[in-house]
């Protein structure tokens, strides 16, 4: 009898632990005029914030505002989100997906691309490099099913998922894998870079964008400076000061807003072993303003000026990597062997440089996005773009300019009378007042 009582108590205790550790997710479409509120109440656990932001980012939702607070053992995160068109969320399937994904956040797994071979590439970027990579893969009878390509500070990182063209299966033949790696390494070394180009092949499941950040970080892209200076519209301002009284480092970021900005920042902090205890996020037409109260995982704030400068460099690089410069070209066409090689060869022949690419195939249809500039990083002559469209097929290749050009952004900032800087200061003051009222801080400069 006593054993049964013990088992019952143990079962009830397990159920209590599950209830305590399962995030409570509330979605409210009535509280805010122009956004849907997503509120997450959960037991404190390192990594929860990153997983929550990743769920929202992977659903292509924009986080317009956010408030993050950790009080002892509990977290409360509130996000104001919209779809990519700036509208509230009305699709029940998206809302249900948010509730399910965030409600099981401790069990979140990376998206799996079943039956694919993953190739990682890093090296020195140059005009036409992507064309050469896809030409090699086509020649080796490899079908590119999905890929993402980032460039930053003269370096390139790409994660490519392949299958064998003839069998439709993963590529597990060791000789073929060695041939793929050797030929791609030769392509990446085409500029005689003294730093070895890197290639690797695996069957590992990973989150593509997390891995791209890690690859570029390992390549030390943050230490380099671009050979060609761009307009600078994506350059973030990052500052750090210590609140030694409460043991926090206070991080402020001001930059142009874009999709997945918060994910890139939070992932970088997490990967660098920093924990976010409190945060305020706000976006306006003139930019994004983010403030974080952080500590290292060992419980200490940033200890030295050298560490502070490294954190600033790492965050600036993380924000810039995904920033899309140039003209957005969207390709939607029935997939076929060698399609990517043909399209990117056309880009190369017209001296177009691909600064970022997102490649996917759904139900036999290639749905690819390319951001292109001219060879020196400037906007491309519209006549060249039209010539490229005619060669590929204007019904297949669409042109979509970035939603806010630097000129328009500057005009907005001028019209608002410098609202951006004032907003950043007011955000910092607001969060400090809130933390002061909670007794978390007194004052600091």
* Res 405: pLDDT: 37
Contact 114, 126 (CB under 8 A): no
Would you place residue 205 in the very low, low, confident or very high pLDDT band (cuts 50, 70, 90)? low
* Mean per-residue pLDDT over the chain, rounded: 83
Residue 18 above 70 pLDDT?
Answer: no
Pairing of strands 142-152, 117-124: unpaired
The residue that leads in pLDDT, 109 or 20, is 20
In the chain, the domains with their CATH numbers are: 25-107 (3.30.70.260), 117-226+325-400 (3.30.70.260), 237-320+410-437 (3.30.70.260)
Residue by residue, DSSP assigns 74-113 as: EEEEEEEEE-TTSPPP--HHHHHHHHHHHHTGGG--PPP-
3-state secondary structure 219-238: CCHHHCCCCCCCCCCCCCEE
Q: What is the mean pLDDT of residues 96-110?
A: 71
The more confident residue out of 99 and 45 is 99
Instruction: Please name every residue paired with 294 in a beta bridge, in sequence order, or none if there are none.
Output: 249, 276
Sorting pLDDT into bands at 50, 70 and 90, what band is 21?
low
Q: pLDDT tens, 119-166?
A: 999 999 999 999 999 999 999 999 999 999 999 999 999 999 998 988
Q: What pLDDT is stored for residue 410 in this prediction?
A: 41
Q: 404 versus 208: which is more confidently predicted?
A: 208
**Which DSSP category does 221 fall into?**
G
- List the beta bridge partners of residue 120: 159, 200
pLDDT score at 218: 92
Q: 395-441: per-residue pLDDT in tens? A: 999 998 644 433 344 433 343 333 333 333 434 444 444 444 444 44
Instruction: Please name which of 201, 203, 198, 227 lies closest in space to residue 215, comparing C-alpha atoms.
Output: 198
CA atoms within 13 A on the CB side of 182: 7
**Spatial separation of the C-alpha atoms in residues 3 and 368, rounded to whole Å:** 62
49-61 pLDDT, tens digit each: 999 999 999 999 9
Query: With bands split at pLDDT 50, 70 and 90, how would you rate the model's confidence at 12?
Result: low
Question: What mean pLDDT comes out for the span 303-314?
Answer: 95
Q: Please report the pLDDT score of residue 189 as a whole number.
A: 82
Least confident span in 3-17, 143-157, 294-308: 3-17
Q: What is the mean pLDDT of residues 259-271?
A: 96
User: Which residues, 6 or more positions from 381, have their beta carbon under 8 angstroms from its beta carbon?
Assistant: 374
Of 66-70, 179-183, 223-227, 292-296, the poorest mean pLDDT is in 223-227
Q: What average pLDDT score do residues 14-33 get?
A: 75
Confidence check: pLDDT of 385 > 60:
yes
pLDDT above 80 (res 92): yes
pLDDT value of residue 421 = 38
Query: In terms of pLDDT, which residue wins out, 166 or 240?
Result: 240
Distance CA(203)–CA(171), nearest Å, equals 9
Confidence band for 357, pLDDT divided at 50, 70 and 90: very high
3-state secondary structure of 293: strand
């Amino acid at each position: 009898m006593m054993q049964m009582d013990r088992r019952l108590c143990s079962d009830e205790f397990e159920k209590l632990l599950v209830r305590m550790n399962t995030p409570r997710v509330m979605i409210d479409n009535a509280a805010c005029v122009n956004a849907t509120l997503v509120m997450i109440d959960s037991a404190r656990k390192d990594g929860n914030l990153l997983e929550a932001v990743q769920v929202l980012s992977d659903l292509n939702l924009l986080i317009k505002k956010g408030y993050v607070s950790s009080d002892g053992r509990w977290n409360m995160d509130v996000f104001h989100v919209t779809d990519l068109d700036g509208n509230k969320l009305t699709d029940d399937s998206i809302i249900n997906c948010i509730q399910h994904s965030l409600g099981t956040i401790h069990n979140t797994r990376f998206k799996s691309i079943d039956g694919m071979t993953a190739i990682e590439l890093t090296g020195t970027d140059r005009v036409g490099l992507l064309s050469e990579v896809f030409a090699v893969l086509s020649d080796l009878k490899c079908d590119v099913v999905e890929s993402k390509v980032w460039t930053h500070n003269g370096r390139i990182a790409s994660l490519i998922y392949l299958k064998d063209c003839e069998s439709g299966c993963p590529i597990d033949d060791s000789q073929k894998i060695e041939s793929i790696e050797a030929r791609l390494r030769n392509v990446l070394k085409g500029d005689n870079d003294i730093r070895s180009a890197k290639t690797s092949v695996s069957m590992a499941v990973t989150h593509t964008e997390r891995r791209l950040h890690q690859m570029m970080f390992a390549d030390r892209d943050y230490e380099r400076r671009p050979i060609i200076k761009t307009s600078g519209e994506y350059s973030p301002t990052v500052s750090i000061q210590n609140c030694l009284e409460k043991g926090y480092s206070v991080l402020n970021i001001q930059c142009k807003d874009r999709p997945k900005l918060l994910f890139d920042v939070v992932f970088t902090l997490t990967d660098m072993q920093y924990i976010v205890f409190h945060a305020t996020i706000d976006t306006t037409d003139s930019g994004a303003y983010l403030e974080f109260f952080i500590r290292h995982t060992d419980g200490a704030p940033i200890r030295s000026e050298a560490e502070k400068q490294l954190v600033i460099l790492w965050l600036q690089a993380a924000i810039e990597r995904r920033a899309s410069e140039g003209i957005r070209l969207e390709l939607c066409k029935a997939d076929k062997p060698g399609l990517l090689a043909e399209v990117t060869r056309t880009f190369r022949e017209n001296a177009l440089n691909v600064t970022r690419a997102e490649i996917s195939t759904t139900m036999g249809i290639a749905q690819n996005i390319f951001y292109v500039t001219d060879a020196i990083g400037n906007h491309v002559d519209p006549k060249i773009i039209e010539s490229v469209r005619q060669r590929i097929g204007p019904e297949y290749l669409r042109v979509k300019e970035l939603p806010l050009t630097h000129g328009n952004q500057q005009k907005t900032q001028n019209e608002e009378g410098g609202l951006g800087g004032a907003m950043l200061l007011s955000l910092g003051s607001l969060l400090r007042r809130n933390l002061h009222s909670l007794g978390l801080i007194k004052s600091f400069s």
